[in-house]
Amino acid sequence: MQAQGQWPQQQQYYPPPGGPPGPTPQYAPQYAPPSEPFFNDTKSPYENDRFKPKKRINDPIVLVLFILQFLGFAALSGITIASWVKDNGLGGGVGKGHDGTPVTLNQSTVYLLLLVTAAALLLSSIYLMLVRAFTKIIMHITLILSILLNVAICIYYWLTKYYSGAVIFTIIALFSILSYFGFKSRIPLASLLLQVVIDVSKHHISVYVVAFTALLFQALLAVWFTFAAIATYTKWTPGNPSCATTSCSSGKVAGLIFFEVFSFLWTSQVIGNVALATLAGGPYGCWYYFGPRGEGDMPKHPTLSAFGRASTLSLGSIAFGSLIVTLLELLKMVLRAAENSANADGHPVEACLACCAACFVGIIESLVQYFNRYAYIEIALYGKPYITAAKDTWRLLQDRGVSAIVNDSLVGMTLTWGGYAVGMLSSLFSYLYLRFTAPAYNADGNYTAPVLLFAFLIGLQCSLTLSSAIEAGVSTIFVGLGEDPQVLAMRAPALFALIAQTYPDVVRGVV
C-alpha cells in the first residue's frame, strides 16, 4: 500500500455482470479497488428485511410512557404559562430593568434564554460550516482547543479555591494532553472518513433538511421549556403574588422543575435520535447498500420512508434508548448539585466524592450514548426492538472487531467537543447578559447558576442535534462495514484500504 496521500491515480472500473456496483461516481476521491476477490459474500440490499421491516409497533410500553410524559409536560406548561401571562410576567425586559420582584425569575430571563437559543442556532450552524470547509484540520483544532479549555478551567478552579473541581480537572487536563499524542496517529483515518461522509451529504440535500428540521424542533422545545421553567418559578415560589391564591413551596418548585428538566432532556434526546435513525435508514444507508441515486437502484424517497418508520413503528425503541441516557444525565446533575452544596458548606471530601461520582456517571453516559447510536442504526435498517438491536449491536462489535474503530474514532469526539464549545459559549453569553443588564431577580446572584445551566443545556442540545447529521453517516458506514465490508470496498476504496491497513481484523474474510 502506498503512503498516505499517494493513492494510485483514478481508474474506471466495471463490475462483473450481476456483481455489486462499482465505485460511486462523484463521492469522495475515487480509486480502482484492489484486484483481490472482494465479492465472495455479496448479499442483497434487502437481506434480513433490511429497509423493509415488519409492520409492528416495537416497545409499546415505553412508547406509551413517552407520550404520557410529554402530555404531562404540555399540561403543566399550559397551566403555568397561562398564569404567568395573566400576571404580566412580573415585569422585566431586554436591557437594564430593576422592576419586577426579587424573589423569582421574571420576563428578563425569557428574553435572555430566547437570545441564547438564537445564539446556539447560529453557533451550531457556523461550527458545521467550519467542519465542511476545514475537514482535514478541524480535528487538530478541536483537540487543541479542548486541551486549552480543560487547562483554563483547571486554572480557574484553583484560583477560585474550588478544590474538588480543581483536582478533577487537573486530572482531565493532564489526560487530554497525553491523549493528544495518541490521537494524532488516528487523525488521517478519521479525517478521510469525515470527508467521505460530508461528500455523501453534499449530494443528498435531505441530510441537511433533516438536520435543520430537527434543530428547529430542538430550538422550539428549548423555548417552550424556557417559558415553562420560568412560569413554574413564578407561580409556586414563596413570596410571589400568585401565592395568595395557591399553595407555594420550594419543594413543589424543585419537584416540578425536576420533571420539566426530565421531560425536556428525554424529548430532546428522542428528537435527535429520530433524526439519526432517519438519516441512517435513508440517505446514508441507501448510499451504502444501493449506491447513488443516479445508478437507479436506490428506492424512491428513502428519507421519507425512513422517517415514517422512525417516527411510528420504531418510536418506542428510540424512546427506550433515549430514556436510559436521560436517567444517567439526571443522576449526573443530582451529583453535581450535591457537589456544589457540599463545597458551599465547606465539606471538601464530600464534594470531591460527589465530583468523582458525577464524572464516573458521565463516562457511563458517554459509553451508552456511543453504543446506542449503533443500536439506533440497527433499528433504522431492520426495524428491530431496542433490546434486540442492542444485543445484535454488541455481537456485531465483538464479531467484526468494529469496537476498535468505535473506540478510536475522532469524528464523534470532534463533533461532541464542538457541542460542548457551543454550550459553553451560550453560558458565557448568558453570564454577560446577567452581568450587564442586572435584572432585579438576580440582585444577589442566586439565579446565576440555574440560568447558566439552562443556557448550557440549550446550546449543547442544539449543537449535538445538528452534528448528529454527520455522526449518523459515520456510524452507518461502521455498521455497514461490520456486516458487508465488501460494499465499502466499492463505494470508497481509499477509505476501505486505510481501514484495512489500520484495523485488519475489521475486514477479515474480505481481504
Per DSSP, 280 falls in state I
pLDDT at 505 exceeding the cut of 70: no
Distance (Å, rounded) from C-alpha 235 to C-alpha 238? 9
CB within 8 Å of 238: residues ≥ 6 apart: 103, 248, 249, 250
Query: Residue 3 domain-assigned?
Result: no
Distance (Å, rounded) from C-alpha 333 to C-alpha 347? 19
pLDDT at 395 exceeding the cut of 70: yes
Distance (Å, rounded) from C-alpha 48 to C-alpha 372? 21
In DSSP notation, 444-501 reads: TSTTHHHHHHHHHHHHHHHHHHHHHHHHHHHHHHHHHHHH-HHHHHHH-HHHHHHHHH
Question: What's the grid cell of residue 438?
Answer: 442586572
How far is CA 122 from each of CA 32, 216, 346, 428, rounded to the nearest angstrom?
Answer: 41, 12, 40, 15
Query: Residue 9 domain-assigned?
Result: no
Query: Residue 113 domain-assigned?
Result: yes
CB 448 within 8 A of CB 434: yes
Query: Residue 1 domain-assigned?
Result: no
Distance (Å, rounded) from C-alpha 145 to C-alpha 301? 40
Residue at 101: amino acid letter: T
Residue whose C-alpha cell is 454550550: 423
Residue pLDDT, tens place only, 186-243: 777 777 777 778 778 877 888 888 988 888 888 889 889 988 988 888 888 887 777 7
- 63 CA to centre of own chain: 21
Report the chain's terminal Cα–Cα distance, integer Å: 13
The count of structural domains within the chain is 1
Dihedral of the alpha carbons of 213, 328, 449, 336, in degrees to the nearest 10 = -160
Query: Residue 45 domain-assigned?
Result: no
How far is CA 457 from each of CA 184, 281, 346, 363, rounded to the nearest angstrom?
Answer: 30, 28, 28, 18
Among 73-77, 211-215, 381-385, top mean pLDDT goes to 73-77
In DSSP notation, 282-344 reads: IIIHHHHHH--GGGS-SPSSHHHHHHHHHTTTTHHHHHHHHHHHHHHHHHHHHHHHHHHHHHH
Query: Residue 38 domain-assigned?
Result: no
pLDDT at 434 exceeding the cut of 90: no
Residue at 30: amino acid letter: Q
Residue pLDDT, tens place only, 272-292: 899 999 999 988 988 888 877
Q: What pLDDT band is residue 508 in, cutting at 50, 70 and 90? A: low
- The model carries a pTM of 0.73
How far is CA 310 from each of CA 52, 58, 109, 322, 344, rounded to the nearest angstrom?
Answer: 13, 11, 35, 13, 45
Residue at 389: amino acid letter: A
CB 59 within 8 A of CB 384: no
The domain in which residue 457 lies consists of: 54-93+106-507
Q: Report the 10 Å Cβ neighbour count for 348.
A: 15
CB 250 within 8 A of CB 103: no
Q: What pLDDT band is residue 115 in, cutting at 50, 70 and 90? A: confident
How far is CA 437 from each of CA 56, 92, 99, 108, 226, rounded to the nearest angstrom?
Answer: 54, 10, 12, 9, 19
Give the three-class secondary structure for 418: helix
pLDDT at 151 exceeding the cut of 70: yes
pLDDT at 1 exceeding the cut of 70: no
Using alpha carbons, select from 408, 373, 403 the residue that is nearest to residue 390. Answer: 373
CB 498 within 8 A of CB 190: no
Query: Residue 99 domain-assigned?
Result: no
CB 172 within 8 A of CB 180: no
Distance (Å, rounded) from C-alpha 299 to C-alpha 313? 20
Residue pLDDT, tens place only, 8-31: 333 333 333 333 333 344 444 443
Question: What's the grid cell of residue 302?
Answer: 428513502
Q: What pLDDT band is residue 472 in, cutting at 50, 70 and 90? A: confident
Mean pLDDT of 403-425: 71
Query: Residue 12 domain-assigned?
Result: no
SS (H, E, C) 218-245: HHHHHHHHHHHHHHHHHHHCCCCHHHHC
CB 328 within 8 A of CB 268: no
SS3 content of the chain, % helix, strand, coil (to 5): 75, 0, 25
Q: What pLDDT band is residue 109 in, cutting at 50, 70 and 90? A: low
